[in-house]
Each structure stands twice: as structure tokens, then as C-alpha cells.
Structure 1
Amino acid sequence: MKTVYEFTVRKTNGDEKSLRDFEGKPILIVNTASKCGLTNQFKGLQELYDKFNDNGLEILGFPCSQFNNQEYDNIEETTQFCQLNYGVSFPMFAKVDVNGNNEDPLFTFLKEQKKGVLSKEIKWNFTKFLIDKNGQVIKRYAPTTEPLKIEKDITKLL
């Protein structure tokens, strides 16, 4: 069975990173946007990271501009915005497409594993995917699901 560990993603500096580096840890993968009405979710994501990272939780942020172009063009602006405004210390990666012809293969896999309410397509920024320690997608959360509401699901995986 395929897992998230089989994927490689691009870091903000353009280098590749294997998700195998996170093997054995629960992971929350989120498509993010810095100029979105839901951007305040960075605060809750960082709270989860602060609370559970020592127990193994990883949160991986993937900036995306596919929904009303709500992400900076320059990845440096994105990372500075996240750090200055929300104290983000969890890993952020290069900007990706989560739908369409150029979608990142990781998001193709995530959507195949857990479809949304009406379709597999991601409808908006801050769609969240919870991955277990074996690299399997356990649950998909709507963009409007506040990160702290995921806490009980995370604690079951730690």
C-alpha cells in the first residue's frame, strides 16, 4: 500500500526533501495561504505544533495560490509573513498547486485517499490531512475546521 513516505517535496530554498524523513510520526499536511480570511489558522496550527511536536507531531505547510491568488509570489515573503505574524516554526515548503494539471503528486495522493464532501478536489485554503505514524491518510478536514478541533484526533495517534 502506498504511503506519504514515497513522496518528495520541494523546500522553500528549492532543495528536495523526502517525506520518509518524517516516518514514524503523525503528520498534519495543510495547504496554506497568507492573504486568506482563514489565515488566522496559522495561530492554531502553531499552538498544536508547540504542544505536540515534542511527542512527535509534524505539521507541514504548503503555500498555495490557487484560490483567489491569496499567497505571495515570493516564497521569502510567505515565510517572513508566517514567522512575523504567527511565530510559525513548523516546516513550510515551496508553493504548490493542489488541483489541476500541475497539482503536486503528494496532493493527488492525499485527495485519492480521502475525498471531500462532494468531490476529491480541494475547495479552499487550509484543507488539512491527518497522517498516522505508518504514512496512511486517516482523516481530511474542511478549510473551516479550526486546528485546535483536531487535537483529540492527534492525541490518538501520538
Structure 2
Amino acid sequence: MASVLPSKNVDMEAGTRRVVAYAALLGTYSAEALAFMATEACRRLRWFPTPRDCLDILAEYRPPVSDQETALRLCQDYTTERFDRWFTNVRAGEPIGDVPEQWRRIAVERGVLRRLPGGAFVIRSKYHGPFKPYQAAEAKAA
């Protein structure tokens, strides 16, 4: 940047202090972030950037996403979409199907499924529970 952008004329001591200040301020950033900052500073500014200018430009930097992170994000999006579709179907009364235990527990917490004492899951809107003693007597009498 120093070769491209003009700056104030300073003596050797002031220049050394300036370099130390910039190094202390920018030393924790990655080489990619600093390259982004230098490119943007040369593109936007007419003069050598102040430390504040450098930090403002660095705040805009977003590191590139690795292939692994992209793949993990796609897998997460796919799983979330499948869960949302399953949950909507179960809420509408469709069969529970063979899904992970965690999905069923979430549906119980959200009030769509009910866990029976034996560990089975049923759709809450379709389950009326076992007959109460008085209901069983009424059913036999009828």
C-alpha cells in the first residue's frame, strides 16, 4: 500500500512508531484478511489508510468457506428440511414412520406425539388413552 498510496512525510523515528502501531493493531489478522484490506484500501482511498480505516475494512472481511464446511452445511440443511417435512406430516395425522429417536422426542416436547409407558410413540391427536375403569364397565353393560 505504501508504494501505491501517498502518505505524510515523516522522519525515521515517527515511521518506526507508526509501523509498530500498525503491527500491534493488525498483527492478529490472517494474511488473507490483510490482503483483502490492502486491496480494498487501494481501491477506495486516496491516502494511506488510518488505523480506523484499516479496522473498518477488516470488519467487512469474510473468510472463504472451506469445502468441508460447505458439505456439512448442505447435510444440515437436508436433515432440517427432512425433519420439518416429517413434523408437518405427523402433525397432519400421517404415520410416524421410522425416524430417529431424537425427532420423536422433539415431537413429544412440541406436543404432537405422546410417549406411552411401554416406550412406544403415538400421535397425540389420535390417542385417547386406555379406557378408564368406569368407561370399561359402561362398555360391557351396553
TM-score normalised to structure 1 length: 0.20
As a proportion of its length, which structure holds more strand? 1
